[in-house]
Amino acid sequence: MRDFLDKLHEDLAKDPEQRARELSKRELPKRFYEVASCAQTEDGYSIQLDGRTVKTPGKATLLLPNRVIAEAVAAEWAVQQKEINPATMPLTRMANSAQDAVSERFEEVADDIVGFAGNDALCYRADDPQSLVDTQRHLWDPVVDWAGGLLGGRFVLIEGIIHAAQPDHLLSSFKTRISDETPLRLAALHTATSLTGSALLALAVKENHLGADDAWTAAHVEEDFNIDRWGEDAEAAQIRAYKRTEFDAAVLILQKA
């Protein structure tokens, strides 16, 4: 299980060029179909490629919970060009992961998300410069306060990087809050948490307390502060845009699945 979670984290940390280099080392499958669509079944919605049903890497029929998500997954297949590139198919990858792995290892994945809450990025604050301190307070305090109210307590705020434990009852309450999610929604929550570094931001999106744009902005306070001071690096911008695509896929699942 640890290997599985490490793989999730490693995949999210890769920049587009790194992912492209890795994919170039092995031959991508050629596009073999004309039409990608979805079809309702007794158990959900499947993806059809010229009438042939898409399978997960574990050889099970890939099933989506509703037409909205299924159509979005089918659209990922439809826009593939001469080759099928999984790096450009975040919804498909999350659905595969949910069905093949998260469904079998639900507790471990949930615990990993709770682990983020115990060391949440929103609880670690800068002590200077004052403009950054103020921006963190403005964007982060409402989320931390809301999460504490939802979970029945107060999160500990820390200046600097020295770890301070969060109250056990808060983390237990967080675990309870996500324990009835579906494997697909839990996979999306894990993705959103990993990309933002904050289980509290992911929870806020899941609970419809924050929209995608607000959560993404809050997750990049320090990065945006440095961009304002030093300018934006082109490669970093490319990585951020790629991760935003992954994040938006997770948000779609959390909002629609």
CATH code for the structural domain at 106-256? 1.10.3580.10
pLDDT per residue of the chain (257 residues) written in tens, 0 to 9: 344 444 444 554 454 445 555 544 568 899 999 999 999 999 999 999 999 999 999 999 999 999 999 999 999 999 999 999 999 999 999 999 999 999 999 999 999 999 999 999 999 999 999 999 999 999 999 999 999 999 999 999 998 778 889 999 999 999 999 999 999 999 999 999 999 999 999 999 999 999 999 999 999 999 999 999 999 999 999 999 999 999 999 999 999 99
pLDDT of residue 162: 81
* Helix, strand, or coil (residue 53): strand
Q: How big is the CA angle at 247 (ends 26 and 13), to the nearest 5 degrees?
A: 50
Cα 179 → chain centroid: 17
β partners of residue 158: 124
How far is the C-alpha of 232 from the C-alpha of 234, rounded, in Å?
A: 6
Q: Where in the chain is the domain with CATH 1.10.3580.10?
A: 106-256
Pick the CATH number of 29-84 from 1.10.3720.10, 3.30.2180.10, 3.40.50.740, 2.60.40.10: 3.30.2180.10
How far is the C-alpha of 64 from the C-alpha of 61, rounded, in Å?
A: 10
The four Cα atoms 189, 165, 213, 255 give a dihedral, to 10 degrees, of: 30
Check if the beta carbon of residue 30 is closer than 8 Å to that of residue 84: yes
pLDDT of residue 19: 53
pLDDT of residue 161: 76
Which spans in 98-180 are helix H? 106-117, 130-151, 168-178
- Comparing C-alpha atoms, which of 202, 237, 242 is closest to residue 219? 202
pLDDT of residue 127: 92
What pTM, to 2 d.p., does this model score? 0.90
Q: Where in the chain is the domain with CATH 3.30.2180.10?
A: 29-84
pLDDT of residue 163: 84
pLDDT of residue 20: 52
